[in-house]
Amino acid sequence: MTMHSLRACARPATCLGRRPAQRGVGLIEVLVAVLLLSVAFLGVAALQAHSLSTNNSAMARSMATMASYSILDAMRADVALAAKGGYNTDKPLKANACPDAGSTMAGAQLHDWCLQLGQALGANETTTGAISCTGGLGECLITITFDDSRAGKGGSANQKVVTKGML
């Protein structure tokens, strides 16, 4: 083929008997790319949802720990009565049925603590708090139980935070 015959052909590759090189992107390639991206975005969304539920669970445990330190500090303000067991609860206080404040400092602090548990962890029957101070040593055990069913798979619905402290 001469130079003149190549110029006469509008598409030299087809004139020589070869197929032209593909230009652009095919529709199937675009569909595969969109499918892969959509699966990736669904994975990211699932990861975010799991992260949020785990974060909520950690926050609830932190709130329970802060509430236990709060009542321990209140008991330290009235250490004589607390060491004698004046803050001990016969049965766990339920956040949906807090005891009356009464006329004593211990009664008012237990009432406020119960309300604090309800606000932080949910005022329902599963949110409870118990206090047990033993002997004259000033060693107290604070037990807080709350519903953590939104934590997702692998966790227990009822969580228990136990704090051991000295007055």
The tally of domains found in the chain comes to 1
At 85, the pLDDT band (50, 70, 90 cuts) reads: confident
Residue 155 pLDDT greater than 70, yes or no = no
Residue 5 lies in a domain: no
| Residue 46: inside a domain | yes
Which structural domain range is residue 126 located in? 28-166
In a domain, 14, yes or no: no
State pTM to two decimals: 0.72
- The pLDDT of residue 13 is 58
Instruction: State the average pLDDT over residues 132-144.
Output: 87
In a domain, 6, yes or no: no
Q: Which of 146, 104, 152 is nearest to 125 (CA)?
A: 146
For residue 160 the two structure tokens come to 């228990």
pLDDT band for position 164 (cuts 50, 70, 90): very high
Q: Which two tokens stand for residue 10?
A: 């509008």
Whole-number Cα distances in Å, 146 to 78, 137, 162? 27, 29, 12
Residues 161 and 64 sit within 8 Å (Cβ to Cβ) = yes
pLDDT for 111 equals: 95
| Domain membership flag for residue 111 | yes
- Residue 1 inside a domain? The answer is no
105 is a domain residue? yes
What sign for the dihedral angle of Cα 106, 112, 116, 118? positive
Q: Residue 4: its pLDDT value, please?
A: 52
